[in-house]
Structure 1
């Protein structure tokens, strides 16, 4: 019965593997050796099956800002050498063609004295395990001797509050009712994810906004795949949202780190898709077993 929830589509010929079927039935049986009884099915329908058949979608556009496109941290100058502006027409087409229930747009919004800026290195004391400040190079990772004691990669100054570099790309479509999330506003903590700062000290309003809308499925795009997009997707999974990354609406800093991030996300149940597949997934016509199994695991933990 459960495998009928995942019909094959034109671009995905196989449905459930034998291993996926076995895991689904074990999870669905609610720990009962007797299988799926009426009470168990009622719970499954409310908390799992209904969400698969009738997804509530959110489209999260991550950090499509000037500094990452043509400014101080332009991806074209990073190891992957990718043209970040290429995500803009893909995102705009999705916003035009697909009726998402919620659209959220995240922005790095750093104060001038932010801890991630290489030129602010002298403002903070380094941990005893770090090399001397004079030897630290751009893109090195350091540990500050402060109350957080967290590791921090040193980036060029970027996305300073109120600056041109912090503005969204002028060609990006932003719906009037989009949820705008400013992150990285604490000078002593970086915030790659749209949901949390890097140390999980402070949460943005994003999860609460999505939960208020009853969101079940999240589609993530933007800049950069291996940094802010990837961390946003990780937290999306942790909050229990079925999560997909839209590959042709993503650009990277480093290709090796992108592969590592992608592999990690897929192991947790995220899927990587093309923008042409988004509409059918939003409509509930293309249902991915990987996402459903991850949602079932999350349900069993609650």
Structure 2
């Protein structure tokens, strides 16, 4: 069974002080760094998705969407959190580039060469994916559900996710939904790779 780590959207705009901050979103960085270190030590692939919006998109409030402007391509807010220790060999995939789509899921996010995450996982013969990042109730949830629907085994890093919680229990509901579909929740001390 080949494993991989996927870090979802741990970007400045989703952390405290950012344009669309997830409460305490930066608090998961130290534990995600521990996961990164373990996966790197074992030689398993590490993927990192990023929201990578054009300046004008229907995703943003000013163009009819739900959200404030955030993670605009090549801006400081779109950069990964500075304390996140992604190794040089990390495969970065971008999503949200189509101005007409929300693109919450990283499943079809693409490298700069235009290869989508789904195809990369197949090419690398990954069967089990460990997923953490932001936000539990949006991009993490949609990505995990897509992975499960397409037949991958998913380990949800319960200590490496954080929710927006527009409603107080959105994060817990999202975790329950992911687990009901087959995701297995783990914490760092339970990691066996």
* Match 1:195 to one of 82, 107, 118: 107
Choose the corresponding residue for 1:209, options 120, 130, 145: 120
Say whether residues 1:95 and 2:36 are aligned partners. Answer: yes
Which residue of 1, 20, 39 maps to 1:73?
20
When you count helix as a share of all residues, which structure comes out higher?
1
CA deviation map 1:271-296 (0-9, x unaligned): 11112212x1x2xxxxxxxxxxxxxx
Conserved in 2, the CA contact under 8 Å of 1:62 and 1:229?
yes
In the alignment, structure 1 residue 119 sits paired with structure 2 residue 62 = yes
Query: Given the alignment of the two structures, is residue 251 of structure 1 paired with residue 162 of structure 2, yes or no?
Result: yes
Kindly indicate whether residue 186 of structure 2 is the aligned counterpart of residue 273 of structure 1: yes
Which stretches of structure 1, 4 residues or longer, exceed 4 Å deviation after superposition?
none
TM-score by length of 2: 0.90
Larger radius of gyration, structure 1 or 2? Answer: 1
Q: Which has the higher strand share?
A: 2
Task: Report the secondary structure of 1:221's partner residue.
Answer: strand
Match of 1:181 among 93, 98, 118: 93
Greater mean deviation of Cα atoms: 203-212 or 261-270: 203-212
- 1:62-82 alpha-carbon deviations (Å, 9 max, x no partner): 000000002111112xxxxxx
CA distance in 2, matches of 1:178, 1:208: 16
Q: Give the alignment partner of residue 10 of structure 2, picking from 64, 77, 83.
A: 64
Partners of 1:65 and 1:169 within 8 A in 2: yes
- TM-score for both structures, normalised by structure 1: 0.58
Structure 2: 5+ residue stretches without partners: none
Q: 1:261 aligned to 143, 151, 174, which one?
A: 174
Please show how residues 111-150 of structure 1 align to structure 2 within 5 Å.
111-121=54-64
2:170 alignment partner, SS class: helix
- Which consecutive residues of structure 1, in runs of 5 or more, have no partner in the other structure? 1-54, 77-82, 122-152, 198-202, 283-302
